[in-house]
């Protein structure tokens, strides 16, 4: 059901935030960097980064990276209103836009915020194709000069929704893993061919780290 009234949007956002916070709070979460330690919630990092992971695993990183020093891009679609409201309740800054609506404005806001903190982008969202990196991530990295940290997330035998991305719902009290890789830098003077090459490299690395995280969660459970 679509929510149009502002009060309903606020109520739904609060409900989602509280429910998700309790849900994620039951998980046994492990962070395993295969590159440098880049968990911004544990200590102040030497520089800012762009964290990129698949849209289907949004639930865990949204709470793991819950800090005002991070801005996350949220779609301008109607569903995004509720998600943005939920993010507000967990202290996440939001930038409204996507590859299909408001992308240029959102990219400019991301570039402006990069001087203050880290950025979070789900590069296959908000409508897919699933697990395919869109060029917007490469564009933001080139304009900001920030390195991209590819992140893989995995759970032990999670439930999946019947959505375009097969959105993941971890089983309560199950194991979740976050695996971050080596920083990927995008040249600021990158051309069209370079954009496509970088896009493919980032896509392959997120896919690889996701498989690593999923295997870790299954084997350690």
| Mean pLDDT, contiguous 10-residue spans, the chain (221 residues) | 66 78 88 91 84 91 71 69 73 67 69 85 88 92 94 95 92 94 96 96 98 92 64
Q: Which of 27, 3, 29 is nearest to 16 (CA)?
A: 3
Nearest partner of 198 among 188, 182, 186, 210, judged by Cα: 186
pLDDT tens per residue across span 124-144: 977 889 999 999 899 999 999
| pLDDT value of position 1 | 47
Structural contact between residues 106 and 144, judged by C-beta atoms closer than 8 angstroms:
no
pLDDT in tens, 147-176: 999 999 999 999 999 999 999 999 999 999
Give me the helices (H) in 65-153, please: 78-89, 103-113, 135-144
Task: Look at residue 183 in the predicted model and tell me its pLDDT.
Answer: 97
Gyration radius from the chain CA atoms: 16
25-to-17, 18, 65, 100 alpha-carbon distances in Å = 12, 10, 13, 33
- pTM value? 0.87
| Angular region, 151: left φ>0, alpha ψ -120 to 50, beta rest | beta
């Amino acid at each position: 059901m679509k929510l149009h009234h502002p009060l309903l949007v606020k109520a739904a956002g609060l409900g989602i935030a509280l429910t998700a916070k309790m849900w994620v709070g039951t998980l046994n979460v492990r962070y395993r960097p295969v590159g440098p330690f880049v968990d911004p919630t544990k200590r102040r990092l030497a520089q800012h980064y762009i964290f990129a992971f698949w849209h289907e695993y949004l639930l865990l990183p949204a709470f793991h990276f819950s800090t005002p020093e991070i801005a996350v891009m949220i779609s301008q679609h109607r569903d995004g209103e509720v998600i943005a409201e939920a993010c507000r309740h967990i202290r996440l800054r939001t930038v409204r836009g996507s590859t299909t609506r408001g992308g240029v404005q959102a990219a400019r806001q991301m570039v402006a915020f990069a001087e203050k903190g880290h950025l979070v982008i789900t590069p296959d969202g908000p409508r897919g194709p699933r697990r395919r990196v869109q060029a917007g991530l490469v564009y933001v990295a080139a304009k900001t000069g920030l390195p991209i940290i590819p992140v893989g997330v995995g759970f032990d035998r999670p439930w999946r929704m019947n959505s375009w991305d097969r959105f993941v719902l971890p089983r309560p009290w199950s194991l979740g893993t976050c695996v971050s890789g080596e920083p990927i830098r995008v040249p600021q003077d990158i051309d069209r061919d370079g954009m496509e090459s970088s896009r493919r490299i980032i896509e392959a690395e997120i896919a690889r780290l996701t498989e690593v995280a999923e295997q870790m969660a299954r084997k350690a459970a």
